[in-house]
Amino acid sequence: MKAARVACLTNFTAVIAAACLLADCGGSGSHTNTIIPPGTNVMAISVNGGAAGNYANGVFTSVTVCIPSTTNCQTISSVLVDTGSYGLRLLSSAGGGALTLSLPTQAGPIGQCGLFVDGYTWGPVATADIQMASEKANGVPVQIIDSTFSTVPTACNNAGGGVEMDDLHSLGANGILGVGPFLQDCGSACTATGSSNPGLYYNCASAPCQVTAQPLAQQVSNPVGFFATDNNGVIVELPAVASAAASISGSLVFGIGTQTNNGLRTATVFPLDSNGFTTSFHNVSYPAFIDSGSNGLFFLDSTTTSIPVCSDNSFYCPSGNTSLSAIIVSGGARETVMFAVQNADNLFSVANVNVFPGLAAPNPGTFDWGLPFFFGRNVFTAIESRSTPGGTGPYWAF
């Protein structure tokens, strides 16, 4: 049975109240994707079963990491591309992951609790040079996911619901590449001392590990922001999907409006600002976000949507394809999009299939528009404080 996976990680400095809609089995609405020409800023991505072979709607790529200022490097495959989190997290070989390179860890040593919607990652903060396509980011703080590193703090375990994603079975990938709209995974909140610190970073010089203030420069960070150029955002490009498939291929493009192959074209910009990023469904507005790391459309509940849930899993199971519509609103931007939900039991009954355009599940009071939204669209994620032709980030556009 395929698992529901939600890979959004909260940035405590600016909690995202985002909005979006979803594609009707491969993308509906006024904006369809344009095939982006190859370039030095384009990296191949693929939706497939991942390193474990059974990941539903996971989009993966390969990332090369190096010991800083050396040519001692390792390329890690099956790294999940996640526009809903921030920073590179690599599963150590202790958990069945691919990372065997001994990256230097931050003095302390410093451990991190990476909180996601469906669990947490735990392990030391290290430093790496990161290569993707022809782009390079030097001296980037990354997390090594390693259950053998010290003892997981009780507060971390409790905040993550006791679900530690520290091995290949639970993570489903060799790592997570967080390329969301913020630079750090926590921001100024984690630089504070005392009770206002949310407790993501720990000094593990002695047991038990203690919550510590972590400067911005030492927080796990979006590596795209460290590029010399093409550092203001990313574009995820995936083809339209008409029905369940074994795999599909696409591109992760670095930069927005920095080269001839990454312009906004006709995309509508939806800013992430104090006005909120919302989705209106049946004339009620809900907070939402766009997240390639979530493997389905996670929205509302059966009472609100009138869609039944499967008897044997947590996904929606309508009797047939269910067509819906939603209105995305952010700032002065507004757009109606049609989308559809399919029966998850029927989708999962087909062998050797990992791409599901109508996969959806309940998420009371919220819209998490996951990977199916990306099918058939170019989805832009602009990084905070960075200038683009569509304005200064953060924003999403499509």
Say what the alpha-carbon torsion angle 215, 220, 224, 229 is, to the nearest 10 degrees: 30
Region of residue 162 (phi > 0: left; psi between -120 and 50: alpha; otherwise: beta): left
Q: Which two tokens stand for residue 58?
A: 């996971």
**What is the spatial distance between Cα 275 and Cα 19, in angstroms, rounded to a whole number?**
11
Output the pLDDT for position 117.
Answer: 86
Output the pLDDT for position 8.
Answer: 57
Question: Residues near 299 by Cβ (< 8 Å), separated by ≥ 6?
Answer: 279, 281, 286, 288, 305, 360, 362, 363, 366, 367, 368, 369
Residue by residue, pLDDT tens for the chain (398 residues) are: 345 555 555 554 443 333 222 223 333 344 556 667 788 999 999 999 999 999 999 999 999 999 999 999 999 999 999 999 999 999 999 999 999 999 999 999 999 999 998 899 999 999 999 999 999 999 999 999 999 999 999 999 999 999 999 999 999 999 999 999 999 999 999 999 988 999 999 999 999 999 999 999 999 999 999 999 999 999 999 999 988 999 999 999 999 999 999 999 999 999 998 778 999 999 999 998 999 999 999 999 999 999 999 998 789 999 999 999 999 899 889 988 888 999 999 999 988 999 999 999 999 999 998 999 999 999 999 999 999 999 999 999 99
CA 48 to mean position of chain CA atoms: 16
Contact assessment for residue 383 and residue 235, using Cβ atoms and an 8 Å cutoff? no
Domains and CATH numbers, the chain: 42-226 (2.40.70.10)
Neighbour count for residue 195 (Cβ, 10 Å): 8
Output the pLDDT for position 338.
Answer: 84
**What is the spatial distance between Cα 367 and Cα 56, in angstroms, rounded to a whole number?**
19
Cα dihedral 186, 79, 72, 166 sign: positive
Q: By three-state DSSP, how is residue 388 classified?
A: strand
CA distances from 245 to 100, 237, 348, 389 (A): 33, 17, 11, 35
pTM score of the predicted model? 0.92
Cα dihedral 102, 105, 109, 114 sign: negative
Strands, sheet with 277-281, edge to edge from the N-terminal-most edge strand:
333-341, 322-330, 277-281, 284-290, 363-369, 297-300, 360-361
Asked if residue 109 has a cis previous peptide bond (ω within 30° of 0), the answer is yes
Question: 335 — phi, psi (to 5°)?
Answer: -155, 140
Output the pLDDT for position 35.
Answer: 61
Contact assessment for residue 42 and residue 253, using Cβ atoms and an 8 Å cutoff? yes
Q: Which two tokens stand for residue 200?
A: 């993501």
Q: Which two tokens stand for residue 343?
A: 């029966």
Closest to 305 measured CA to CA, from 296, 295, 289, 316 = 316
Strand pairing class (210-211; 201-203): antiparallel
